[in-house]
């Protein structure tokens, strides 16, 4: 007689290995379906908002029906759909402002919103058809597809805080790719991430083939904001390194999407037995390359580049695999002289970049109070 399998339950749950694995897979599929559903709902809502903004602009509603037309429209919509949110006076004003933000900048610059990219770096927004009219240069007929991946609250923050079309599209891409909350987005805008991204001084054009040189430059920025650290006024490079490793999650967020932490003071052993220890080693997953970082708590001097050049060579020999792209090096220091950096990188044969960091230095209150008291006693 064939025996029936015995199932073990723990805390009311079936603990069979295959069942647990299947259950985890179903849960994951359900979460993915929820994400897809929320994106579809968000996209439909935003497409509707876009059409309202487009109508208000195309009809020149305020010129035709007076300054109070937006308020009247909001009231009429609330009365017609009392159970639906989104028809407040302020939200209708944001809808008109949202469409107008892109309409005015596209018309002014005569460019199209074709800079949006998906997670694979492919262009996903078709060129927006520009329709010639008697008094209007163009009309943005359809909402760019990638806008649907960005929640409405983040759209409001972008049009409220960004000045240019390029800056707005930069943050649209970042929110869509990295899933930033509204608070994270606003912190990034306040930290001028758009201006900082890709602004580190590098020699990538001379040391990396195209388009790798541009791609590698985009993963660096200047400055890096270490405001998540609390450093005393007197600190050295080891203190800075320890603090960053202790806050590795925040550091990875500041470096940007795609970075994976490999090691600190990682041993690179030469064939002859001599060893070297770069400060920090990361791997950039999308670009398949190692990034060697050296930290300097002082102003940049040319000697720093020579040392990092060697570390990048060692990483290429000892760490780089068959499918990896060339490693790059990054010096993050307290301050720089751009001309000194540029001259020092001219004859370096490995791809290096130089950037600065910013942080809040916290003075030890006890020491400060003692020094102040001593000064007062001396005056007496």
Angle at CA 71, nearest 5°, toward 95 and 100? Answer: 30
Structural domains in the chain plus CATH codes: 13-191 (no CATH), 201-362 (3.40.1350.10)
H or E element, residue 183? helix 182-190
Q: Which two tokens stand for residue 73?
A: 């429209």
The confidence score (pLDDT) of residue 30 equals 66
d(CA 341, CA 199): 13
Q: Are strands 268-269 and 275-276 parallel, antiparallel or unpaired?
A: antiparallel
Write the pLDDT tens digit of every residue in 85-117.
888 999 999 999 999 999 888 776 654 444 444
How deeply is 114 buried, as exposed, middle or buried, from its count of CB atoms within 10 A (0-12, 13-18, 19+)? Answer: middle
Share of the chain above pLDDT 90, in %: 39
Question: Of the candidates 282, 297, 294, which has an alpha carbon nearest to the alpha carbon of residue 237?
Answer: 297
The tokens describing 112, both together, are 């199209």
In the DSSP assignment, the letter for residue 322 is: T
CA angle 199–204–209, rounded 5-degree value? 135
- Min mean pLDDT across 16-25, 218-227, 282-291, 360-369 is at 360-369
If phi over 0 gives left and psi between -120 and 50 gives alpha, with beta otherwise, what is residue 275?
beta
The pLDDT of residue 156: 96
Q: Which of 316, 290, 294, 319 is nearest to 304 (CA)?
A: 294
Q: Is 224 helix (H, G, I), strand (E, B) or coil?
A: strand
Give the Cα separation of 269 and 274 in Å (integer). Answer: 6
Residue 307 main-chain phi, psi, to 5 deg: -65, -45
pLDDT digits (tens, 9 = 90+) for 207-262: 999 888 888 988 899 899 998 888 887 888 999 999 999 999 999 989 988 899 99
Residue owning tokens 């929640």: 151
Q: What is d(CA 200, CA 144) in angstroms, rounded to the nearest whole number?
A: 31
The pLDDT confidence band at residue 118, using thresholds 50, 70 and 90, is very low
d(CA 322, CA 216): 19
Neighbours of 243 (CB within 10 A): 17
- Asked if the model's pLDDT at residue 264 lies above 50, the reply is yes
Average pLDDT over residues 45-49: 89
**What angle do helix axes 165-178 and 152-161 make, rounded to 10 degrees?**
150
CA–CA separation, 228 vs 49, rounded Å? 37
Q: What is the pLDDT of residue 373?
A: 62
């Amino acid at each position: 007689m064939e025996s029936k399998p015995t199932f073990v339950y723990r805390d009311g749950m079936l603990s069979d290995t295959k069942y647990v694995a299947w259950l985890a897979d179903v849960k994951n599929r359900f979460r993915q379906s929820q994400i897809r559903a929320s994106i579809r709902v968000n996209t439909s809502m935003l497409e509707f908002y876009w059409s309202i903004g487009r109508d208000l602009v195309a009809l020149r509603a305020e010129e035709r029906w007076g300054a109070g037309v937006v308020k009247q429209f909001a009231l009429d919509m609330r009365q017609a759909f009392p159970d639906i949110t989104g028809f407040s006076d302020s939200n209708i004003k944001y809808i008109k402002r949202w469409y107008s933000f892109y309409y005015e900048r596209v018309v002014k610059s005569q460019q199209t919103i074709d800079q949006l990219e998906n997670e694979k770096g492919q262009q996903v927004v078709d060129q927006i058809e520009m329709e010639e009219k008697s008094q209007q240069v163009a009309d943005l007929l359809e909402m760019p597809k990638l806008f649907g991946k960005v929640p409405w609250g983040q759209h409001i923050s972008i049009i409220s805080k960004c000045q240019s079309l390029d800056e707005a599209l930069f943050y649209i891409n970042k929110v869509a790719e990295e899933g930033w909350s509204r608070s994270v987005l606003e912190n990034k805008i306040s930290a001028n991430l758009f201006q900082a991204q890709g602004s580190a001084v590098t020699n990538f054009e001379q040391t990396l083939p195209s388009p790798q040189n541009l791609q590698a430059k985009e993963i660096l920025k200047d400055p890096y904001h270490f405001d998540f650290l609390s450093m005393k006024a007197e600190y050295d490079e080891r203190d800075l390194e320890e603090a960053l490793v202790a806050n590795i999650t925040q550091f990875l967020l500041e470096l940007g999407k795609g970075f994976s932490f490999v090691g600190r003071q990682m041993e690179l052993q030469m064939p002859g037995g001599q060893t070297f220890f770069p400060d920090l080693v990361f791997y950039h997953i999308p670009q398949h390359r190692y990034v060697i970082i050296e930290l300097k708590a002082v102003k940049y001097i040319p000697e720093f580049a020579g040392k990092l050049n060697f570390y990048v060579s060692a990483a290429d020999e000892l760490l780089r695999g068959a499918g990896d792209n060339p490693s790059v090096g990054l010096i993050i220091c307290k301050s720089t002289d751009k001309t000194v950096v540029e001259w020092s990188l001219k004859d370096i044969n490995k791809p290096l970049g130089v950037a600065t960091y910013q942080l809040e230095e916290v003075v030890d209150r006890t020491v400060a109070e003692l020094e102040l008291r001593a000064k007062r006693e001396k005056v007496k």
